[in-house]
Amino acid sequence: MYKYKNILVPTDFSSGSEIALAHAIDIAKSMKARIHVINVIKNVVYPIGIEIAHESLISLEQDLENAAKNQLKEIAEKISASGIDNKGSILFGKPHEKIIDYANENEIDLTVIATHGSSGFEHFLFGSTTEKVIRKIDAPILDVHYPKNDGK
């Protein structure tokens, strides 16, 4: 059996991400692996013609980062309570690119990621972060499916 040492759990703090984390915790316990939890904040797109970032947009980025720090701290405490070594990180950019880069740079040998299975027009417009990660990441992936209408 393959022994995982570093497990990545990208999170958007949805209930699906919580389910993916629960799977990662179970796997990490059995293999004594470290869990890396990351949250990727999409860069704020400033309107064309504004040369100086408006104060409210800068405040929005800071608010998103502060909220993510607080939620990652709670997740880290939950993982630590299970006796598992862990690391949390906040990244900025396109989620699928940052997830793949993080996995490559941190010797991740399993990624546990949630998907809600969007389809139709929404999927056509936005695609799926999970789908993009699955196509381009080198290490194994556990894709945890959860219902789209999870209330979050």
CATH assignment of the domain containing 19: 3.40.50.620
In a domain, 14, yes or no: yes
pLDDT attached to residue 20: 94
pLDDT attached to residue 132: 86
Q: What are phi and psi of 43, to 5 degrees?
A: -60, 140
In a domain, 151, yes or no: no
In a domain, 77, yes or no: yes
Tokens, residue 122: 């929404």
Strand runs (DSSP E) across 30-134, as ranges? 34-41, 86-92, 110-115
3-state helix, strand, coil in the chain (%, to 5): 45, 20, 35
Distance CA 32, CA 74 (A): 21
In a domain, 109, yes or no: yes
Q: What are phi and psi of 135, to 5 degrees?
A: -70, -30
pLDDT attached to residue 126: 45
In a domain, 74, yes or no: yes
Number of separate domains in the chain: 1
In a domain, 90, yes or no: yes
Q: Mean pLDDT by 10-residue block, N- to C-terminus, for the chain (152 residues)?
A: 92 91 97 97 69 63 91 97 97 94 97 74 58 88 75 46
* 113-to-36, 110, 146 alpha-carbon distances in Å: 12, 10, 11
In a domain, 91, yes or no: yes
pTM of the model: 0.84
CA triple 4-6-11, angle to 5 deg: 120
In a domain, 150, yes or no: no
Distance CA 42, CA 55 (A): 18
The whole domain housing 21 covers 6-145
pLDDT attached to residue 100: 96
